[in-house]
Copies of this chain bind each other. A is one copy, B any other.
Amino acid sequence: MDKRDFKNEVYGELSKISKAMSNPHRIEIIDLLAQRPYAVEEIASCTSISTANASQHLQVLKSAGLVTVNRRGYFIYYSLASEKVFDVWRGLRELGIEQSSKAREAVDRFRMNYHSLQPAGIDEIYEKVSKGKITLIDVRPEDEFIYGHIQNALSIPIDKLVSRLEELSKEMEIIVYCRGPFCIYADQAVEILTKEGFNANRMIEGYPDWKSRNFPVSFSA
């Protein structure tokens, strides 16, 4: 095996992984699986594709070693195979926000819809949380919260927010977080809270970013 064969083999192998991450639906699936394991039909419905199509994309991810499989009852749950999968996805996401003006504009335009334009970065929030200065609200679906959440965060899924406003104080600064920078639950929440007179902002990043930074998390066994 000469030098060229070696390089062909190595770069060829690695390109299988990046090929697996080179489809919009599959990226979206990875972004979703960073929250918790999901079954095929749930994945299909969250990403607005057919079940058969979702299954096929999941096969691709599985062959590339990016996801693992786990059956419980009738359902087959897919999970990310490694923390490193999220790391690569986050790198890609950050590179995209830096380099692609279209991606940046799409995000800004959407934030604008929800009048949620001064989001705070994860480090800034980590500082404040350590000093106990803010109320953290997790507006993701409850099952994602149960699977893992930021320590001391309060779970108020976005569709329950309007009915649970009396639990919140208008004195404290409120930070809302959700799945990540492309998830709009937090933006919707900030819009609702601001209209009701609360002092609320969203965290740009999501729970998986917090966890990947090794900031303190909790989960229910």
Residues on A facing B (Cβ under 8 Å)? 1, 3-4, 6-19, 21-25, 27-28, 31, 48, 64-66, 81-82, 84-85, 87-88, 91-96, 98-100, 102-103, 106-107, 109-110, 113, 182, 184
Top 4 nearest A-B pairs (CB, nearest first) are A65-B99, A22-B22, A13-B103, A11-B24
Among the interface residues A16, A96, A184, which one has the most CB atoms of the partner chain B within 10 A? A96
Would you give the shortest CB distance from A116 to chain B, in whole angstroms?
A: 14
Taking a contact as CB atoms under 8 Å apart, the answer to whether B13 and A18 are in contact is no
Given A66-B99, A110-B1, check contact A6 B92 (CB 8 Å): no
Q: Can you list 7 contacts pairing A with B, beta carbon distance less than 8 Å?
A: A6-B110, A11-B31, A17-B95, A18-B27, A19-B22, A88-B92, A91-B91
Q: Could you say which of B13, B48, B91 contacts A4, with CB atoms under 8 Å apart?
A: B48
If A15-B23, A16-B100, A81-B99 are given as contacts, then 9 extra A-B residue pairs at C-beta distance below 8 Å, sorted by A number, are A1-B113, A3-B184, A9-B102, A11-B27, A11-B28, A13-B106, A15-B22, A15-B27, A17-B96
Given A65-B99, A98-B82, A99-B65, check contact A11 B87 (CB 8 Å): no
Taking a contact as CB atoms under 8 Å apart, the answer to whether B99 and A95 are in contact is no
